[in-house]
Amino acid sequence: MSEQTTVSPCCITGHVHEGTPLGSFEIIHGLRTYVSNPKPPTSGKQNVVVLISDIFGVDLVNTKLVADEYAGNGWKVLLPDFFEGDAIDHNLLNAIVPNLRVQAEATVASKAVDSAKMAAALGPWITKHREAVSKPIIEKFFQALRADPSTGKTGTIGFCWGGRYSLVLAQDDSPARVDVAVACHPSFLVNDDVKPITKVPCAIYKGTADAMMTDEALDEVETILKGNLGDKLSVKKFPDAVHGFSVRGDLENGKEKAQKEEVTKDTVDFISKYFN
């Protein structure tokens, strides 16, 4: 099966959130990593949740704020730079559909410019960060994390580009297999990715307006995983939510804000169930 190298414009639409991250950057297992320590602090072995970011990487404030939210559940949360400094510039997020509330003001000419920017930025990037390059970097980090004697259980939450890799880390033969995996609006996920998952609890959350994965495609994945995992699977579709809603939604839109809060709660509840 050929690797998908095309990206929908929805991959680079969304909103930059406001807030001050509580964590800090450290070098962990060789990668620059945003660290949000558990609140309240814990002693002994520490359960760790690793976020696998979307294409905007670890410096998008939204993802750091999400990491802080999850750390509030008593987990150590890590957000490693799996792109090694080569994320898509988050300023592009503002250049392309800067705000859904003003989309009506866009002209045909401005939309054409935005599409050209997207193609120029994403085509080479997707090729550079293909699976043959990215998967070993991700696996090496998780292997080192699991080998750390202070690590308790490990979970991962992947967003968009990272959503697929969170499930890859749940495969039975993964050398870096996690204890629980959550994929939020995964990109490029195919049935063959989930067939080898028969042990690790998995959750997949997606909006019905997600242009990167149809509801029908998710139904196929759900059928496979349901047969493999039974009640260790959670799948939920969020009405009218678009790709990236869990991390790049418009928080000034009441419905988008509520769905972002709902998917965060669903994720916390699912991971907590298997961390306990």
Q: Which fold has domain 24-89+127-275?
A: Rossmann fold (3.40.50)
- DSSP of 133-180: HHHHHHHHHHHHHHHSTTEEEEEEEEETHHHHHHHHTTSTT-TT--SE
pLDDT at site 12: 43
What burial class does residue 10 get, using C-beta atoms within 10 Å of its C-beta: 0-12 exposed, 13-18 middle, 19+ buried? buried
pLDDT at site 113: 64
Mean pLDDT for back-to-back runs of 10 residues, the chain (276 residues)? 45 57 96 91 88 94 92 95 93 53 53 66 87 98 97 97 97 98 96 98 95 94 98 97 83 84 96 95
State pTM to two decimals. Answer: 0.88
- Written as one letter, the residue type at 172 is D
Cα torsion 172, 178, 179, 183: sign: negative
The 8-class DSSP code of residue 102 comes to: G
